[in-house]
Amino acid sequence: MSARRSTIRPRTTNVGTIIGITLVLMMLGIQGFVMLFAGSLERYFKEQVRVELFMKRELKEADVLRLRKELDLQPWCAGTVLVTPEEAAEQMKQDLGEDFLELLGGVSPIDPNIQLSVRPAYAQPDSMKWIVEGLRKDARLHDVAYNAAVIENMQRNFRALTLGGLVVLALLLVVAVALINNTIRLAVHSQRFLIRTMHLVGATRWFIKRPFLLGGLWQGLIAAVLAVGGLAGLFWMARQHVPDLLAFTDAFSLALLFGGVLAVGLLIALLATWVAVGRYLRMDHEALHLS
Average pLDDT in the 100-121 region? 68
Q: Tell me if residue 97 falls in helix, strand or coil.
A: coil
Average pLDDT in the 8-16 region? 57
Give the domain 50-145 fold.
Answer: Alpha-Beta Plaits (3.30.70)
Position 9 scores a pLDDT of 46
Q: Who has greater pLDDT, 72 or 161?
A: 72
Average pLDDT in the 33-55 region? 82
Sequence-distant contacts of 128-136: CB under 8 A, at least 24 apart: 128/49, 128/51, 131/51, 131/76, 132/51, 135/51, 135/53
Q: Which pLDDT tens digit goes with each residue over 254-291?
A: 888 899 889 988 888 888 778 777 776 666 655 555 55
Average pLDDT in the 120-147 region? 88
Q: Who has greater pLDDT, 31 or 117?
A: 117
Q: Where in the chain is the domain with CATH 3.30.70.3040?
A: 50-145
Position 6 scores a pLDDT of 44
Enumerate the β-bridge partners of residue 55: 141
Beta carbons within 8 Å of 214's beta carbon, 6+ residues apart: none
Helices marked H in 48-124 = 61-72, 85-96
Q: Who has greater pLDDT, 183 or 223?
A: 223
Least confident of 13-17, 59-63, 130-134: 13-17
Per the CB < 8 A criterion, the answer to whether 211 and 268 are in contact is no
- pLDDT beyond 70 at 168: yes
